[in-house]
Amino acid sequence: MRIGKRIALLVMVLFVFSIAAAGCGGGTETDDPAGDVIKVGVNVELSGGTASYGTNARDGALLAIEQINKDGGVLGMQLKPIERDNKSIADEAMSISAALVGENIVAQIGPLTSGDVAGSTPVMMENKVPLIAPAATAANVTVDDKTGETRDYIFRVCFIDPFQGTLMAKFAAEDMNATKAVIYCDNSSDYGKGLAQYFEKTFTENGGTILAQEGFVKDDRDFRAALTKIKGLNPDFIYVPGYYQEVAPLIKQARELGITAPIGGCDGWDSPDMVSVAGNEALNNSFFTNHYSSQDKDPQVVEFVEAFKAKYNKEPDAFAALGYDSVQIMVQGLKDAGEADSVKLKEALEKITDFAGITGNMSIDEQHNPVKAGVILEFKDGQQVMKTRIQP
């Protein structure tokens, strides 16, 4: 019995130490100062609430890195991605950033959501390593709310929330000739609320009226009460800024209740789950703003889509394209900087103009936001069809 206890104690102690050692191992494979690789941190959501975004952005980023390495790398060096999962939690994103910075990365790609980028921000700023956010769309990601100063080391390749709301409002008013709209937004995210605000602003400026604003929260599954009310108002456009988890059943229920008005949304809709949950029929006559369309006939986009399909055997969504562009713009920055140095990379990134990305030509403005076009996609029998491209 006593022997048994001793063994148990020993095993427990050894177990704890091995875990601790493994933890150390993660942080100390750093010390190869050899200059023949450039390390790139990939800090994305591979599990948790927004895993679908993170996984696709990771795939896009890794594809870009693979292509660049095949073409001889950057500055004569190969790119080495270091991939980490932040579980869609802000403090985890911060811890991972610290670990990545400890491994001497030149820049970090990700995280995807604005909140997780905010978690990662102080570490990147403190260590002067650029963070390139593929899809963090909140305005205050790159600009400090309190001081109005641009956060030096935080960049992004996506347009910001106000732009998406504005874009859809323009589309609704001009292309759809809508005058009476209802907003039914995700009240539990700043994303949904922000988009709703700018949609309302632009839509009313274009002479439309907002009949009502309803809200749902994350993980809601039954939207019939609010939808019945909306049906009674008889709007000619419904704006539903939110994420696909809630929007898919929402649209399904809306159509079941006999609402035929066009429904508009945002890049949070972009997921294969939309079609599988809502169904082809229900999604007809719904539109969303996005960063790019995989059906774009632009040769660069076609080439990317083919390469992506060949590697992963799936259609690249906007997050994949943005992940790809994040790496490409970083590579452009490295070339401009002339050396793999984080501070010089940051300076080069600030000067980028007319960079030809998959998601459009972009120039980085003084607030580290790209100036670029957006696209409107339409669901037609379960397929995303590119409707129009709107310049800012």
Partner 1 sequence: MQKVNNKWLKLGIEVVVLAALFTLVQYLITAGLLKQYYQISLASMCINVTLAVSLSLINGFTGQLSLGHAGFMAVGAYIAAIMTNMLDLPFITGILAAMLGAGLAGFIIGVPTLRLKGDYLAIATLAFGEIIRVTLQNIGYVNGPAGIMGIPKFATWPWLFGGAIVTIVVIVNLINSSYGRAIISIREDETASELMGINTTKYKVLAFVVGAGFAGLAGALYAHYFYIIKPETFNFLKSFDILVMVVLGGLGSTTGAIIAAVFVTALTAALQSFPAIRMVLYALILIIVMIYRPQGLMGNKELSLRTFGRIWGGRH
Q: Which residues bind partner 1 (CB under 8 A)?
A: 2, 5-6, 9, 12, 16, 19-20, 22-23, 25-27, 46-47, 83-85, 87, 89-92, 94-96, 98-99, 101-102, 114-115, 118-119, 121-123, 126-127, 138, 140, 144-146, 187-190, 193, 217-218
> CA–CA separation, 296 vs 243, rounded Å?
24
The alpha carbon of 57 is separated from its chain's Cα centroid by a whole number of angstroms, namely 7
Q: Which helix (H) or strand (E) holds 347?
A: helix 342-350
DSSP letter assigned to residue 153: T
Kindly list the distances between the CA atom of residue 116 and the CA atoms of 33, 112, 122, 148, 198, in Å, as whole numbers in the listed order: 30, 7, 11, 20, 23
State the minimum distance, in angstroms, from the CB of residue 375 to partner 1.
26
- Identity of the residue, 56 or 384, whose beta carbon is nearer to partner 1 in the bound complex: 56
- Identity of the residue, 37 or 46, whose beta carbon is nearer to partner 1 in the bound complex: 46
Residue 360: closest CA among 197, 167, 169, 174: 167
State the minimum distance, in angstroms, from the CB of residue 45 to partner 1.
10
The alpha carbon of 186 is separated from its chain's Cα centroid by a whole number of angstroms, namely 17
Tell which phi-psi region holds residue 382, choosing left (phi > 0), alpha (psi between -120 and 50) or beta: left
> CA–CA separation, 292 vs 370, rounded Å?
14
Q: What are the two backbone dihedrals, phi and then psi, of residue 370, each rounded to the nearest 5 degrees?
A: -80, 140
- Identity of the residue, 246 or 296, whose beta carbon is nearer to partner 1 in the bound complex: 246
State the minimum distance, in angstroms, from the CB of residue 232 to partner 1.
25
State the minimum distance, in angstroms, from the CB of residue 196 to partner 1.
12
**Which residue shows structure tokens 């419904």?**
238
- Identity of the residue, 58 or 252, whose beta carbon is nearer to partner 1 in the bound complex: 58
Cis peptide before 111 (omega within 30 of 0): yes
State the minimum distance, in angstroms, from the CB of residue 14 to partner 1.
13
State the minimum distance, in angstroms, from the CB of residue 366 to partner 1.
20
Residue 271: closest CA among 303, 238, 235, 318: 318
- Identity of the residue, 6 or 335, whose beta carbon is nearer to partner 1 in the bound complex: 6
- Identity of the residue, 314 or 335, whose beta carbon is nearer to partner 1 in the bound complex: 314
- Identity of the residue, 92 or 270, whose beta carbon is nearer to partner 1 in the bound complex: 92
CB 280 within 8 A of CB 381: yes
- Identity of the residue, 82 or 386, whose beta carbon is nearer to partner 1 in the bound complex: 82
> CA–CA separation, 53 vs 323, rounded Å?
10
State the minimum distance, in angstroms, from the CB of residue 126 to partner 1.
8
Which segments of 87-172 does DSSP mark as H helices, in order?
90-102, 114-127, 161-170
State the minimum distance, in angstroms, from the CB of residue 165 to partner 1.
16
